[in-house]
Chain A
Amino acid sequence: MAMKPGGKEQGGWASARTKEIGRHRIAVTVNGRRYEREVEPRLLLVDFVRDHLRLVGTNEGCDTTHCGACTVLLDGHAVKSCTMFAVQADGSEITTIEGLAAHGRLHPLQEAFRENHGLQCGFCTPGVVLAASELLRVNPKPTEEEIRVAISGNLCRCTGYVNIVKSVSAASRAGGG
Chain B
Amino acid sequence: MQPRSFEYVRASSIEQAIGLLEEHGERAKLLAGGQSLIPIMKLRLASPEVLVDIGRIPGLSFVKEEGDVLRIGAMARHRDLEQTAVVRNRYPLLADTAHVLGDPQVRNLGTIGGSVAHADPASDWGTALLAFDTKLVATGPKGTRTLSIDDFFRDTFATALGPSEILTEIRILKAPARSGGAYTKLKRKTGDFATVAAAAQVELDGRGAIARTRIGLAAAGPTPVRARRAEQHLVGRMPDVVALAEASRLAAEGARPTADLRGSVEYKRAMVEVYTRRALEKAVERAQR
Q: Interface on A for B, CB 8 Å cutoff?
A: 16-17, 21-22, 24, 40-42, 44, 63-66, 68, 71, 74, 77-80, 83-85, 87-88, 90, 131, 134, 149-150, 152-153
Contacts and interface: CB of A to CB of B under 8 A. Distances in A.
Main secondary structure of the interface of A (DSSP, over half): mixed
A154 B3 CA distance: 24
B6 A68 contact: no
Contact of B6 (A42, A44, A84, A90): A42
Interface residues of B, number: 30
Contact of B191 (A21, A87, A90, A153): A153
Contacts of B51: 41
Contact of A150 (B5, B35, B39, B104): B104
Given A17-B49, A42-B6, A153 B34 contact: no
Contact of A85 (B35, B38, B103, B106): B38
A127 to B, nearest CB: 9
Interface centre among A24, A65, A74 (most CB of B within 10 A): A65
Nearest to A151: B104
B203 to A, nearest CB: 30
B144 interface: no
Interface of B: 1-8, 10, 27, 31, 34-35, 38-39, 42, 49, 51, 53, 55, 79, 102-106, 108-109, 190-191
Contacts of B103: 68, 152-153
A65 B104 contact: no
A17 B4 contact: yes
A84 B105 CA distance: 11
B35 A65 contact: yes
Given A17-B4, A66-B191, A88-B55, A83 B104 contact: no
A74 to B, nearest CB: 8
A77 B80 CA distance: 12
A42 B2 contact: yes
Contact of B105 (A16, A68, A149): A68
A22 B5 CA distance: 10
Closest 6 CB pairs of A and B: A153-B103, A41-B8, A152-B190, A77-B108, A21-B5, A153-B105
B5 A153 contact: no
Contacts of B49: 16-17
